[in-house]
Amino acid sequence: MSAGSLRIALVGNPNCGKTALFNQLTGGRQKVANYAGVTVERKEGRFTAPSGRLLHVLDLPGTYSLDATSPDEQITHDVCAGLYPGEAPPDLIVCVADATNLRLHLRFVLEVKRLGRPMVLALNMMDAARRRGIVIDVAELSRRLGMPVVETIAVRREGVKALVAQVDGAMPEAPPAQPDDAASRADLHAQVRELLAATVAMPRATDAVDDALDRWALHPVFGLAILAVVMFLVFQAVYSVGKPMTDAIADGFDWMGTHVAAWMPAGPLQSLVTDGLFGGIGTVLGFLPEILVLFLFILTLEESGYLPRAAFLLDRWMVAVGLTGRSFIPLLSSFACAIPGIMGTRSITDPRDRLATILVAPLMTCSARLPVYALLIGAFIPSHRVLGVFNLQGVVLFALYAIGILGAMLVGYVMKRIRRDKSEHALLMELPSYRLPKPRDVAIGLYERGMIFLKRLTGVILALTVIMWFISTFPGPPPGATEPAIEYSIAGHLGRALQHIFAPIGFNWQISLSLIPAFAARETAVAALATVYAVGGDAATGGLGHALTVNFPLASALSLLVWFAFAPQCMSTLAVIRRETASWRNVAISFGYMFALAYVASFITYHVAVWLS
Ligand SMILES: Nc1nc2c(ncn2[C@@H]2O[C@H](COP(=O)(O)OP(=O)(O)OP(=O)(O)O)[C@@H](O)[C@H]2O)c(=O)[nH]1
Ligand SMILES: [Mg+2]
């Protein structure tokens, strides 16, 4: 340890507030949510304590015990035991415990103590504990454990002051290291009982409000009905709240585009700015409000503690289709993006269940597909009222999310049928307390999502858009050409070559072409179509939506929507599958089955739609 700095590791059972504490200490913006298994990687941050000392803080995945059974728990174990490659053991372990659930959490505290390293116990969630009338004799607990004990409330700024003072003060003495064997393990239970009896007065074991809510939320029939209604309302909200804002942004960009164009001399540069930048990037940017509205709901649900209940309700169904209730949370993260979803599977203990979840995660509709859906739905689906109250566009969007989920169930079921090991695992999961979402955490989450979207927009999407503009513009038409200029460009040739593959499912060459950049980032399909049609001169009047309705039959649009629901995901997703499973074979399986599924489903959709119309 260098004289001026100290390395601290935050450890504890899942969902006890380690990350909330980490964010308060370091000003970090790591994800906090009300269920187990949110953090799956070690995250480092630092801050300067009042004494001027630099404190390095490590946030670790939660773990129920130090004999790690899943990849994220392994990380925690290795860091604490000083076995993590390339990392010295921490100078001080801050063990975080949920004060409302000490029966479970103290066991882990005792386990960590046996490592024989200097440690401090943070009794977190003291606000909730006091509300429930739990009284803890902190001085006695500290004396019996032989370590400093600090009460904290990680969701309030002032709630962590005492902890900072403690870690910034004199280093606590390390407890004696103890061997880790079966006998001493059995002993832990007895010790926890003794500690609880001597230091904690618990008026009632569980919260009356939680119990009352759970009678409805976990009811096998009403519970599922509530879940369906909640999900349906979320998608309605995306349309009724997000759409007007999206339209306003699109109009604003159109207006700016025409004005900027008026200032510039005609030529390739003007075309790049108006067709490529305002046409392409502007169109994608317009979908930010819809993404934010969707995530406002998802983050609120995450913080409320409702989601693990949904996992519990769906467990039976998930097992029936070859997944587990534990797959629920990673699959849910995949609605943001398959990448965090696939990384989130690290909390699934069984490698077989984990792989099944990884393979179906990309079928969940990620937020990058939302612009594509929104564009096509806006152009082709009339905004009728259904049953007087629901917006038809919202219903179609809901249906698209639903076919992704149904597709995942189908694929899970097929995998279950073909694998040899048919054992099933019961879901063991703690249900967290219900909690009113903290505006700050939701705001952090929204900010992070928004920034991810904007960074993609100014990075990969911008680059791809410029490339699309370039290949759509050059080479220019030969003298005396009769067709639109774009027909002679690289894009024209490439698109027509690809069309051989995609014509049977109803795609014209422009769409076939837009699938190439979409493989790098889904949203670019929108930017690419905007650029291609703008360069081709079709989008000049009435915007991209209009250009699409003129150039595309409805059957092609439906086929394209279905294609995007199932098609192999972007390259980054495949790269993460490779990293998480260390196997190219899984990448090939994933790509291959999704391509086949998408092609067959689009083929059927296209031909049925043509036949019906
Ligand atoms: N009322 C209250 N809620 C808290 C407190 N600390 C954390 N929370 C909430 O508890 C939940 C879990 O917090 P996290 O920080 O994500 O927990 P974690 O220990 O990092 O969980 P994993 O990463 O899954 O191991 C979130 O909903 C927080 O808002 C607290 O002191 N009081
Ligand atoms: Mg965490």
Kindly give the number of the ligand 1 atom that is closest to the alpha carbon of 62: 25
Mean pLDDT of 289-317: 84
Looking at residue 586, what is its pLDDT? 94
Of 303, 332, 435, which is best to mutate to test ligand 1, by the most ligand atoms within 8 angstroms of its C-beta? 435
Reported confidence tier of residue 507, pLDDT bands at 50, 70, 90: very high
Q: What is the pTM of this model?
A: 0.75
Say whether the ipTM exceeds 0.90. yes
CA 35 to ligand 1 center in whole angstroms: 8
Please say if the pLDDT value at position 240 is more than 80.
no
Starting from the CA of residue 36, give the closest ligand. 1
Residues 39-50 as b or e (16 or more Cβ within 10 Å = b): bbebbebbeebe
All residues with CB under 5 Å from ion ligand 2: 18-19, 38-39
Bridge partners of residue 597, in order along the sequence: none
pLDDT at 543: 67
pLDDT at 154: 92
pLDDT at 241: 79
pLDDT for 1 equals: 43
Higher per-residue confidence, 137 vs 432: 137
Strand order in the sheet with 5-12: 43-48, 54-59, 5-12, 92-98, 119-124, 149-151
Q: Which ligand 1 atom is nearest residue 96's CA?
A: 19
- Residue range 210-234, pLDDT digits in tens: 888 888 888 888 998 998 888 888 8
Q: Is residue 119 scored above 80 in pLDDT?
A: yes
Q: Which of 58, 95, 155 to mutate to test the pocket of ligand 1 (most atoms within 8 A of CB)?
A: 155
Q: Residue 429 above 70 pLDDT?
A: no
CB-based contact 246:286 (threshold 8 Å): yes
CA of 17 to the centre of ligand 2 (A): 7
* Rounded CA separation 58/80 (Å): 11
User: Which residues does 339 contact at the CB level (< 8 Å), separation at least 6?
Assistant: 572, 573, 576
pLDDT of 75 reads 84
Q: What is the pLDDT of residues 314-323, one digit of tens each?
A: 877 888 888 8
Write the pLDDT tens digit of every residue in 163-193: 999 998 888 888 887 776 666 667 888 889 8
Per-residue pLDDT averaged across 222-249, rounded?
Answer: 81
Residue 480 confidence (pLDDT) above 80: no
Residue list, ligand 1 pocket, CB within 6 Å: 12, 14-20, 32-34, 36-39, 61-62, 124-125, 127-128, 153-155, 303, 435, 438, 441
Report how far ligand 1's centroid is from the alpha carbon of 41 (Å).
16
- Ligand 1 atom nearest residue 23's Cα: 15
CATH class of 6-202: alpha beta
Nearest-atom number in ligand 1 for the CA of 303 is 27
CA–CA distance, 127 with 557 (Å, rounded to integer): 53
Residue 539 has a pLDDT of 54
What long-range pairs does 536-544 form, CB within 8 A, spacing at least 24?
A: 536/472, 536/484, 536/485, 536/486, 536/510, 537/484, 539/279, 543/250, 543/254, 544/279, 544/283, 544/375, 544/379
Across the chain, mean pLDDT equals 84
* Ligand number nearest to the C-alpha of 17: 1
- pLDDT above 50 for 484: yes
At 590, the pLDDT band (50, 70, 90 cuts) reads: very high
Pocket-testing residue among 11, 13, 18, 333, ligand 1, by greatest number of atoms within 8 A of Cβ: 18
pLDDT tens string 363-372? 998 888 888 8
What ligand 1 atom has the least distance to the C-alpha of 61?
Answer: 25
Question: Which residue's CA is the closest to the ligand 1 atom numbered 30?
Answer: 125
Q: What is the mean pLDDT of residues 465-486?
A: 78
Among 20-34, 50-64, 146-160, 243-257, name the one with the lowest average pLDDT.
243-257
Which of 16, 26, 124 has most ligand 1 atoms within 8 Å of CB, for mutation? 16
Whether the predicted pLDDT of 2 surpasses 50: no
Residue 547 has pLDDT above 80, yes or no: no
Sequence ranges of the chain with CATH classification 3.40.50.300: 6-202
Is the CA virtual torsion 65, 69, 75, 80 positive or negative? Answer: positive
Judge whether 256 and 274 are in contact, CB under 8 Å.
no
**pLDDT tops 80 at residue 289:** yes
* Cβ-Cβ contacts under 8 Å for 411 (sequence gap 6 or more): 359, 360, 363, 593, 597
pLDDT confidence band for 428 (50 / 70 / 90): low
Task: Give the residue whose CA is nearest to atom 16 of ligand 1.
Answer: 32
Ligand nearest to the CA of 76: 1
The SS3 of residue 43 is strand
Q: Is the peptide bond before 479 cis (omega within 30 degrees of 0)?
A: no
